Amino acid sequence: MGAGISGLDQAKQDEMQKTVSDIAEHFVKSFPIALAIEIALHAKEELNPPTDWKSGLKLLDPAEDKTPSKDLMEGKVTKRGGKITNWKERHMVLHGETDNYNLEYFDGKPEAGKKPKGTIELSGYRVRQVPEEGLTLTKSAIMEQVFIRAQMKEGQYGLKLDPWCYGRRVYYFIFDTVEEGKKWKKALEDGCWYAKNPEDPNPVVARTFTRTMDMVRDKYERWISIEYYSDEAARLGQFMCAAIYDKTLRDVIDGLPDAGRDTAESTIISIMQGMVKGAAGAAFSAFKAGVEKAQPLLTEKMKPLIEPYCTQENQLKGKISEKVAGTIAPVVQPLTDKFLAPMADKITSKCVEGCIKMVNGFSKYIDENSSKPDWVATMVADSTYWYWSPAAEAFDVAWDCWSYYCDNPAQLVPGATSHGMYNILLERYRHMAKRAAFTFKKKYEGQISRKSEFLAELKADLLVMTHATLIDIFMDALGSTVVEQIKKPGMLLLDPVQEAIKSIPVPGLDEFLDLESMLDDVLTDSMTALFEGILAKPIETGQAELSAVPV
């Protein structure tokens, strides 16, 4: 674990080392079991690939694009060091969406093949100006203000990246001018907002790690909170640090005199994190290498082994369907005339209205902005923003729908909420707007002459989206009713069977043959068939209206 912590006796330091060793040992023992389960589930997905409404869309999905996006900002900065807290000039680059808005800094201007001095994952950070004016500050914050002021010259601008969660480093930067600093502040705020929580790009590695950590937590009897703003190695380190603090350091720090306790605690924790970082990083690297080495061979060997279980799953679904099929119509039918049919007319009309406004919004945006510099890139960047998106008026329709049912709650199915409907509509509109803007840039290369072709493709995909969205809104609206009247009684019958499956000594079998998940699938299929009948006429009318929109 590296050098010891000054002020701790050898017994305490040995205890810390043993904690790390114990966690590492449990991690190593749990890993093969977790890997076998995830490989089986992955092989099952390959044999029966899951599908959703998005698989039928023609518009390109930005999430599948591997082309490096344009860097958002680049330039010189003075940065405070981590271990050695001096200030050095660095060249900083803020990458775009396909690089998850990572912030890299270099010793000198970056060149092809040159490795950065460091990379900052912006997920879980917020941006603050320093020094901050007009605030009621804590003692440590006042010291920070003094510290930053001492480094800054007249006319310079200071920023810090402040983590939301415990245990992550705070970064400090000084820019030569206020104008430059404010540009960086806006760019970094956008990066922090849009950056996704980092995880390994191999889904089997990511899922196996999560499962292994859950098994270690259970074994170690500590359900310690782990912040998902960090990558897997850092999360393992967080767990080790929290366990060490809980078992060893808490009593040590509580025994320190009040004067200077905060400073001493901060110093001890910082040293502990440095000590654990190498152990956690090495453990995860070995773990990742093991997964990637075993994955191809195990997946191929697993497929013929799990095919009988897939057959068994389908047979179980058939039996579950036989048991519950007759219970769904009596629950749904009484709600149809009073709630579902009027909702079908109203929501279909609003959904189609939003789609028409999206088509017209993109058409208008292209006409009005095509003479501006970088207008296509701006359209892509603003595609999901409420006020600047070409689809902004479609987003307004989602809000109108929410407002209407807030004012008329008696028109909703008992247990349904206008908020659930609003979330589904807005998420779908934003997804389609993002795809549309990206497709116009990538596939149509921003060519005005191909606007009609692009809008026709957008219309066709909006027809697909409308159908799926209405089904999902109805599923959400009836969710609580179905759970109470159908699912809970159904699970009372299935629970003894699930317990019998759990008793079979095959790791992960209860997840592979998950009867609750099967019941959910059966209910979804049966209810979708009922909703298709209720929605058939409104959807036919709405889709004819959307198809008639000129492009």
Sequential DSSP letters for 4-15: --TTS-HHHHHH
pLDDT of 404 reads: 92
270/120 Cα distance (integer angstroms): 18
Does domain 65-121+124-178 fall under CATH 2.30.29.30? My reply is yes
Q: How far is CA 118 from the centre of its chain?
A: 24
pLDDT of 376 reads: 93
- Say if CB 80 and CB 68 are below 8 A apart: no
pLDDT of 65 reads: 77
Angle at alpha carbon of residue 300, lines to 295 and 305, rounded to 5° = 115
- Say if CB 378 and CB 369 are below 8 A apart: yes
pLDDT tens digit at each of 551 positions of the chain? 545 555 567 888 888 888 888 888 888 888 888 888 888 888 888 888 877 888 889 999 988 877 767 788 999 999 988 777 788 999 999 998 878 889 999 988 777 778 899 999 998 899 988 876 545 555 566 666 677 777 788 888 989 998 887 667 889 999 999 999 999 999 999 899 888 888 888 888 999 999 998 888 887 765 566 667 788 888 888 888 888 888 888 887 777 777 767 777 777 777 787 778 888 888 888 888 888 888 888 888 888 888 888 888 888 888 888 878 778 878 888 888 788 888 889 999 999 999 999 999 999 999 999 999 889 989 998 999 888 999 999 999 999 999 999 999 888 888 788 898 999 999 999 999 999 999 999 999 999 999 999 999 999 999 999 999 999 998 888 888 888 888 888 888 888 888 888 888 877 778 878 888 888 888 888 888 888 888 899 989 988 998 888 88
430/428 Cα distance (integer angstroms): 5
pLDDT of 6 reads: 57
Strand partners, 172: 160
- Say if CB 93 and CB 111 are below 8 A apart: no
CA dihedral 143, 147, 152, 156 (to 10 degrees): -40
* 82-111: burial string, b at 16+ Cβ within 10 Å, e else: eeeeeeeebbbbbbbbebbbbbbbbeeebe
DSSP-derived letter for residue 448 is G
Bond from prior residue into 131 cis (ω within 30 degrees of 0)? yes
Angle at alpha carbon of residue 271, lines to 270 and 276, rounded to 5° = 100
The domains of the chain are located at 10-62+200-304, 65-121+124-178, 307-547
Strands annotated E in 263-419: none
CA dihedral 485, 487, 492, 493 (to 10 degrees): 110
Cα first-last separation, the chain = 66
What residue type is 440 in one-letter code? F
**What is the DSSP pairing of strand 125-130 with strand 118-120?**
unpaired
235/431 Cα distance (integer angstroms): 30
Q: Is 157 exposed, middle or buried (0-12, 13-18, 19+ CB in 10 A)?
A: buried
Q: Is 151 exposed, middle or buried (0-12, 13-18, 19+ CB in 10 A)?
A: middle
pTM of the model: 0.72
Q: How far is CA 348 from the centre of its chain?
A: 29
302/296 Cα distance (integer angstroms): 10
- Say if CB 268 and CB 5 are below 8 A apart: yes
pLDDT of 166 reads: 63
DSSP-based three-state secondary structure for 38 = helix
Which residues touch 470 (CB under 8 Å, ≥6 apart)? Answer: 344, 347, 348, 351, 531, 535, 538, 539
Angle at alpha carbon of residue 34, lines to 33 and 37, rounded to 5° = 90
Say how many C-beta atoms besides its own lie within 10 A of residue 408's C-beta. 11
How many residues comprise the chain? Answer: 551
DSSP-based three-state secondary structure for 238 = helix
